[in-house]
Structure 1
Amino acid sequence: MKLIKIKRTTKKEKRFSNQMGILTAKVTYVKKTVLNIPIKTLHKYRETYYGEVKDCESCRLSA
């Protein structure tokens, strides 16, 4: 039995970009888990309308 695992989860979030305004994007989180308890988020990225994969640092959460 492995104690440490890497899990990927995808959920829809509302993001805001200065160029496009508010958009709903699929955001994928890569998390490290110990005994199925999430410990740390290693990376998060989103997919654009054109199929490109971008880092979530380029747009911020809408308020």
Structure 2
Amino acid sequence: MAFLYIKRFTKTENRFNPKMGRLIANVTYIKKYVAGIPITTLHKYRNTYYGEVKTCKECDINK
């Protein structure tokens, strides 16, 4: 196992958009790991139904 590596994984999350309402989206995380411990999230994005890639800042569950 490498000491420093980057891993990408996808999980399903609830999101909220004021125009669309509640949205269940697959969110992909890219994280940096050191010795198997996640240190930081480098990028977080979601794919739309039409194949567009969008950031998760515009669609947040806390709004």
The 5-angstrom pairing of residues 1-40 of structure 1 reads: 1-40=1-40
How many residues of Structure 1 are paired with residues of Structure 2 in the alignment? 63
Normalized per residue, the structure richer in helix is: 1
Percent identity over the alignment?
Answer: 59
TM-score, normalised to structure 2, is: 0.91
Whole-Å separation in 2 of the counterparts to 1:21 and 1:34: 38
Give the TM-score normalised by the residue count of structure 1: 0.91
Question: What is the letter of the counterpart of residue 31 of structure 1?
Answer: K
Supply the AA of the counterpart residue of 2:19. Q
What stretches of structure 2 of length at least 5 have no aligned partner?
none
Q: CA RMSD in A?
A: 1.3
5+ long unaligned stretches in structure 1:
none
Alpha-carbon offset, residue 62 of structure 1 = 4.8
